[in-house]
Homo-oligomer: A and B are copies of this chain.
Amino acid sequence: MTTALLTDQYELTMVDAALKDGTADRRCVFEVFTRRLPDGRRYGVAAGLGRFLTQLTEFRFGDEEIGFLRDRRVIDEGTARWLADYRFTGDVRAYREGEVFFPNSPVLQIEGTFAEAVMLETLALSVFNADSAIASAAARMVSAADRRPLAEMGSRRTGEWNAVAAARAAYIAGFGATSNLEAGRTWGIPTMGTAAHAFTLLHDSEEAAFRSQLDALGSGTTLLVDTYDIEAAVETAVRLTDGTLGAVRIDSGDLPSVVASVRAQLDRLGATATKITVTNDLDEYTIAALRAAPVDSYGVGTSVVSGSGHPAAGMVFKLVAHHSPAGEWVPVAKKSADKASIGGRKEAGRRLRNGIATAEVVLTSGSVGPDERDLLVPVVTHGEVDPAFLGTAGVEAARTHHKRAKAELPADAERIGRGDPAIPTLFV
């Protein structure tokens, strides 16, 4: 499967025109960044790098793709020949996957010829905008959950392939598991899930459904107790397992009060080790509101896969410098009133004091200072992707790196309420 047509048509018409006028081979630097964080967010989490790099290796124009582009008159014969030979041969540096970012952080930097690099815009932004939106929301939920485990269960609330990417992004940001099986297979993420209301409704009684599930999955399983009457269901569940039930799941009702009464009932019945998991339309706010409740774990659906109100991370892909005909770097930037940006290739460092971040430093010249953690690392060199960022190993590395990067943030960055970016972005 080629990823080459997951692309806006204008990338190809630009390549076509640039090949004709001789600018196609000009060396260029493109950067991906966001002008601002979503309203009130303190930081973002960069995700998608491993997916983007995988797709970069599959970005090839075969006969079918070229035939389509010629039929639609998007490209001419010369461009068709150029595309047939297309391989990205440039360099890419990026924020490590899982890294936090702020306004104007250059999370991805692509250097190559205009033609080879501009074509990657659509794919890079699709992946980074979607995955970073999810990771950014997920990280807030992890903070709100205050060390209690979270599972991503939103596959039913987003496109079927987005669901796989969403599970991956949420895991990088600290979720512990997903319901999505393809995410388990492709990215090595722990998977979970036991039964839906349909399973209880299918059986002639709730007790028959519980017995069946216990027979199949053992008493360590999680029984869904809110199909009919929660109190009766909890009583049945404890009785059938002699109090050894792993957990009960509650998917409706006013959770703080329901959870408290279920906990009291479980304890009264002797099932003190039975855990309570909740899954009713949670987001970072409702998770935080359950901090005082005896909840043991959370399952989160719609809100995490849709970025909790911000389904795209607001990233843009901009040409920031190109070679002049004489081979000198020329910084460039759009001048539009509301979309101005800063030209020139950037370096980026996170300034730290006693291990705590105090500023995001974006440099248009010079290099990252001694008290700054260098944020841009090479991920593609002369077209060769560094395999450390790919596959399941890449996901685990990203998850580990995210913990480190989040731990560097000032303590109040984890506040769920609205605020300014946790640290300022300084251009130097």
Contacts and interface: CB of A to CB of B under 8 A. Distances in A.
Q: How many copies altogether?
A: 2
Contact of A6 (B1, B163, B317): B163
A36 interface: no
B252 A339 contact: yes
Nearest to A253: B337
A387 interface: no
A74 interface: yes
- Interface size band for A: 35 or more
Nearest to A22: B212
Given A12-B181, A18-B212, A191-B72, A336 B227 contact: yes
A314 B120 CA distance: 33
Contacts of A11: 193, 196
A68 B187 CA distance: 12
A217 B73 CA distance: 10
Nearest to A21: B212
B336 A226 contact: yes
A341 to B, nearest CB: 9
A82 interface: no
Interface of A: 1, 3, 5-14, 16-18, 20-21, 23, 26, 28, 30, 55, 64-65, 68-69, 72, 74, 76, 114, 118, 121-123, 125-127, 129-131, 153, 155-165, 179-182, 184-185, 191-199, 201-204, 208, 211-213, 215-217, 226-229, 251-253, 280, 302, 305-306, 311-312, 317-319, 322, 324-325, 332-339
